[in-house]
Every structure is written in structure tokens, then in C-alpha cells.
Amino acid sequence: MQMTSFVRLRAMAVAFLAMGALAACSDDDDPVQPTTGTLAVNVSGLPAGTNAAVTITGPSNYNQTATASTSASVPAGTYTVAAAAVTASSVTYNATVTGSPATVTAGGSTAVTVTYTAAAPTTGTLTVNVTGLPAGVNGAVTITGPNNYNQARTATSTATVPTGSYTVTAAAVTNNNVRYTGTVTGSPANVTAGGTTTASVAYAVAANPSVTLSGSIAANRTLTADTNYVLRGFVYVNSGATLTVNAGTKIVGDTTALGSALFVLRGARIVANGTEAAPIVMTSQRSAGNRSPGDWGGLIIVGNARNNRTGNIIVEGSDGSVVGANPAGVVYTGGTNDADNSGTLRYVRVEFAGYATLPDAELNSFTFAAVGSGTTFEYLQSVAGLDDSFEWFGGTVDGKYLISYESGDDHFDTSEGYRGRNQFLIAYQSTYITPRAGAGAVSADPQGFEVDGCNGGGCTAPAGGNAQSSGQADGLWNMNVMANYTLIGVGGTQTTPANGGVGVVLRRGTGGYYINGVIARWPRQAISMRDSTTNNRFLVDSLIFKSNYLAENGSQNGGVVFDPTGTNFGQESAFTGRGQTNEVAAAAVTAASLFTSLPAGSATTTGANFDWTPAASSPIATGGLSTFAADPRIAARAGTFITPTTYRGAAAPSGAKWWANWTSYARN
């Protein structure tokens, strides 16, 4: 029994020694100690889907970003966790970091917490409500505030802005000659953090301020649409000065200074550029319904081109007893520069003008005295003027798109060596208008065209000579070109003054070319060539009347269209004999049937009632002189300014309605 125990003890000792020996033999295979640990960054507090802005830096240039909670195995060492603010849905979230710097031990786990919390707002909402303007018209609102905040607003708007006090202002707005001023409420507007503040701008129609123009304009001046201008007496734009008139501007004649008129003198310029949407209007000071022909004088432009009279010949009526008038009048003769430039008139209306400053000395709506070819005239209208609507005294200025509604005398009157060219003209007469009491006499001879070679003292154009006149630069004969005109008279509805009612009157030695026109409803006749001196121009082809359409003329004269045989020189046979063919409509054809819309003319008629486009199947849609190649005289004078057309009259069958939108029709 004892022997057995001893054996066991010895065996155990041997085993223990063996294990010790084995352990001693295994020293080179000890387990590797860990050199990394775990760094956990816990991010909280941001709305779902919003990224954090966390940066982790540590040993050996360790640099990582994290956008959400993350856990990473990193080398042991010290790590810094930083977090930037985050903005989401206009809310700023600031970050608080706990546990940084974070020491990571080998095999250990370390946590850092990034907690985002919403910061108190530093902005608010500012709404500006803009009301009272027509649709499509912009306001003129300015918002100023802290840190040089400056913003413009044209309509109702809402903006997020820094907190503080904001000032809202509104400038006046002009649209279609109507001025709107804005009333601001709620300014200054105090914007609080996270709050909503509202200011309002209410626009309303306001009367434009009035400025009186009198005496002389000696230096450059600009007239603007947000001001009404009143001409008091004769107002002169002096030589060397330019008067600029902005689109939409309104100028009226002072009814307490009868005969008030605007003179643009030789050497001065007027630059009046209206637009179809905003024409420039020169009219009576009296209200609509109370206006009359002769309420004021008109527009007179004096240039430096040549004419065919010598001596100091003055503009008719310029020496009258009107406030500011020069008793010596305004001289327009003696010019030397046919290319002179008096400026630009474009989209301009002159209404209820033509005051007689002396007996039988009326001013016209538009008076062009010796105006040169450097001047531009386009889209001009005369409405209810007491004397002529347009009158040219010599000069060379060209024009296009000219309209005369209800003239007191002639619609288009040229004389004294006028050599300009005009295309697309409309004259409409439905009644003989009544002038303002004391403004002047009713004309005894109102016509469509009245064209004179020269009349009065100092005429230099040969009265009876037969010298050939061809080309653009010959002599000082009256040699205007008129093309594509539509001249409509009163027909048989009115008693015609004794010597009036003729569509085209040619007299006193005039030449000129008249092509592609429509002459209709003139109660006496369509055309008359009054004297032998004018016939002399005709016989040498310096007077051409060709490719015109004549309808419904002579209703008060037995249906006469041309001069009757044996009376004057404008017989139809004379024209056809010289190859100047014209078409006379059948008796049943009316003026109204030629056009898309030709109203009877009344107090209720408006400018929108007129459509001068040829009606469907209208005879004036064709028959025009479509080329000038066969007639070198016409080609030379027309140049590139006058365009040949296949149609007759002022409107193309499918062309633009160039008279639309900017013209007016009124009889009082």
C-alpha cells in the first residue's frame, strides 16, 4: 500500500518536471499583444437624412470625416474629434463634443459623443405685397436694411432676411401715359428671429405734375412721360439746342394763351421717338369732349434746306399777337443745305391744333418749312386740325406712315420747291369740322392733296418754262413724290365749301409724281390740274399721275372724276394719252367696300374702328405699279426710299396694320 503511494508520487514529480521542461522549451511562441483599439463616434440630434460634419484626427496624420455615427479600428493613441455646425431647412444645428480628446488603448474601446442641437434662428421672413398696378406692369420698390442690404422688388415677394429693421420705399411708375404712385404701410419693418413681417405698397393713379414751357429753350432739354408739359405762347427751341421728347410724353397748348405753339428753329433739333405702345401726344389742354380745332397752334419745324422763294419769307402766322411771339415772325427762306437734319419725329400725334394768329394766317398741325433730308419723319398723325394737317414749304425731307383724320383745310399741302418723298399716307374726312370760336375761319377750299409750285412774292421757280425735270437733284421745281396714299372725302353727306372737295389739286406750276393711290368719295372730283404752268410740267413728264384707283367721286358734281373737257387741264384723256393709266371704278363701287373697315365717322368712332387693309377681293389689292424699271424718271426720284407695290393705297393686303394701336380718332 505504501509502496504504491510512493510510485505515484514519483510519477507525478516526473510529469511536473516534464511540463516545466516543455514550458521552458516554448518561450519563443508567446501570443502577439494587440496594437489597435476601437474608436466609436456617436452622432445624434440631426433630422433624418441630414449629414453631420465631423472630423477625426490622430497619430500618423490620421484624418477622417464622418457624416453619421461610426466605429473604427484605429491605432492606439490620442484622437481629436471636432464637429462643425450644420444647416438644414434654414435651421442651424450646433455641435457639442464630449470624450475628445479620446485615448485609444491596444485592445481597448473608446467612445466620443457628438450631440447636435438647433441654434436659435438669426433670420426672419419679410413679405412685401405690391398691389394696384395693371397686369404686367412692374412696380419700383426698394428694400434697404442691416449690413448694406439693398434689394429691388417689382411685384409681391417674400424673402428670408437677417433680423433687423428694414425700410421699404416705392417710386412712381408710368404706364401708357398714366402715372401711379405707391403708398407704403408697415415700414420700417422689424424682422425678428424666426418671425414673419409684412409691408404693403398700394399703387394708385396719380396726376402727373405739370411743367410750363415758355419763351426759349436755349440748351439741350429732355421731356419725360411722367410730367405733363404746357406750352404757354410761342415756345422756341433755339439754334444749337436739342429738345428730346421721350416716348409717352404729353404736351398741351395753354388755352389761356391762345395760339400756343412749339417752334423748332433753324439749327435746332427735336428728337421725339415715341413708340406704338407709347406715342408722343401734342394736344389741347381742354378735356376730351370739350376740345375744338384751333385750341392751340401746332408744331413748326424750320430747317436749312432750299426752297424757291427769295427774301425774308416768314412762317404763316408766326408774327401774330401771341404770347412770346416775335413781331418780325420766323423766317424760313435762304437755306442752303438740302441734307440738313432737324431731328426725328416718330409715333407723334398732333390734335386740335391750327389756331389763326391773324386773319387768314393759321398755323398748321405739322408745318415743315425748308426741312432737309437728314430729318426723319415716320408714324405721324394729325387729328382735327383747323388748317392743313401737314404742310411742306420747300425742303427735301422724306416721310412714311402719315395720317390725317378730319382736317379743317387740306390734308397734305406742299409748295415752294418741296422735293421730298412720302409713302403710305392716309387722309380721312367724314365731316367739315367746327373750329373753336375766335380761332379762325372755316376753309373755303379743303382738299386731299393741294400742291402748288410757288405762290406769292419772291418766287424763283420758272412759272411757264418747259425745262425738263428728271432725277433727284434738278432745280427748285416743286417735285414731291407721293406713293401709296388713301384719300377719303365726305362724299355726298355734307355741303362742300365753295372751292373744296377735290381729292388732288395740282396748280401754280407744280410737278411731282403721284402713284399707287386710292382717291375715293371726294364730292367735287378726284383730280384737277388747274393751270397752264402746271400743264407745262405735265407735258415734259415732270408731273406723273399713274396707277391710281378712283371710286365714288363727284357725287355733288354730276359724277365728275377728272377735269371736264374744256375746263382746266386734268382730263382723263390727257393722262392716258401720255401713258399715265388710272382705273375708275364702276358707279356701284363704294369707298367702304374697298377696305376691311371704314366707319361712317361719328362722335363714337375710335381709332380702333379703322382697318385700311383691302377687303377680300378688293380691286385695290392689285393694280399697283410694281416696278419702276420701265420709267426712269420715277425710278430716279423714288430712289430706294419709295418701294414699288403690287397694290394700291396705304395698306398691303396681308401686311402689317401699321396704323393700329398708336392712332386716335376724335372730333371734340
Distance in angstroms (rounded) separating the CA atoms of residues 640 and 648? 19
pLDDT at 13: 42
Q: How confident is the model at residue 498 (pLDDT cuts 50, 70, 90)?
A: confident
pLDDT at 5: 42
Q: How confident is the model at residue 441 (pLDDT cuts 50, 70, 90)?
A: confident
Q: What sections of 449-488 are H helices per DSSP?
A: none
Phi, psi of 638 (to 5 degrees): -70, -35
CA separation, residue 546 to residues 126, 536, 556 (Å): 71, 17, 25
pLDDT at 318: 97
pLDDT at 136 over 90: yes
Residues 6+ apart with CB under 8 A from 19: none
Max Cα separation, the chain? 184
Q: Residue 561: CA atoms inside 13 Å, Cβ hemisphere, count?
A: 17
pLDDT at 436 over 70: yes
pLDDT at 9 over 60: no
CA 481 to chain centre: 29
Distance in angstroms (rounded) separating the CA atoms of residues 55 and 80? 8
Q: Residue 263: CA atoms inside 13 Å, Cβ hemisphere, count?
A: 33
Burial class (CB in 10 A: 0-12, 13-18, 19+), 587: exposed
Residue 103's DSSP bridge partners are 78
Residues 6+ apart with CB under 8 A from 170: 139, 140, 141, 142, 181, 182, 183, 184, 201, 203
Report the phi/psi class of residue 256: left, alpha or beta, with left for phi > 0 and alpha for psi in -120 to 50: alpha
Mean pLDDT across 607-634? 96
What percent of the chain lies above the pLDDT cut of 90? 83
The number of beta carbons lying within 10 Å of the beta carbon of residue 438 is 9
pLDDT in tens, 458-467: 888 766 655 5
pLDDT at 229: 97
pLDDT at 226: 87
Comparing CA positions, the residue from 539, 518, 519 lying closest to residue 529 is: 539
pLDDT at 360 over 70: yes
Nearest-10 Cα torsion for 144, 150, 152, 153? -50
Residues 6+ apart with CB under 8 A from 112: 39, 40, 41, 42, 79, 81, 97, 98, 99, 100, 102
Three-class DSSP category at 560: coil
Distance in angstroms (rounded) separating the CA atoms of residues 649 and 488? 11
pLDDT in tens, 78-99: 999 999 999 998 788 999 999 9
CA separation, residue 14 to residues 10, 25, 371 (Å): 6, 16, 142
Phi, psi of 185 (to 5 degrees): -125, 150
pLDDT at 258 over 90: yes
CA separation, residue 393 to residues 368, 496, 502 (Å): 6, 26, 21
Residue 356's DSSP bridge partners are 362
Q: Is the overall model pTM greater than 0.85, yes or no?
A: no
CA 298 to chain centre: 23
pLDDT at 21: 42
pLDDT at 603: 83
pLDDT at 402 over 90: yes
Amino acid letter, residue 243: L
Mean pLDDT across 304-333? 96
Cell of 169: 420705399
Residue 348's DSSP bridge partners are 280, 380
Pairing status of strand 164-170 against strand 157-162: unpaired
pLDDT at 120: 79
pLDDT at 14: 40
Cα of first residue to Cα of last residue in the chain, in angstroms, is 155
Amino acid letter, residue 414: T
Question: What are the counts of helices (DSSP H) followed by strands (DSSP E) for the chain?
Answer: 4, 47
Distance in angstroms (rounded) separating the CA atoms of residues 504 and 367? 20
- Chain mean pLDDT for the chain: 92
Distance in angstroms (rounded) separating the CA atoms of residues 249 and 246? 6
What percent of the chain lies above the pLDDT cut of 70? 93
Radius of gyration of the chain measured on its C-alpha atoms: 45
Q: Say if residues 568 and 528 touch (Cβ distance below 8 Å).
A: yes
Residues 6+ apart with CB under 8 A from 343: 242, 264, 269, 270, 271, 272, 301, 375, 376
Q: Say if residues 182 and 155 touch (Cβ distance below 8 Å).
A: no
pLDDT in tens, 414-424: 999 999 999 99
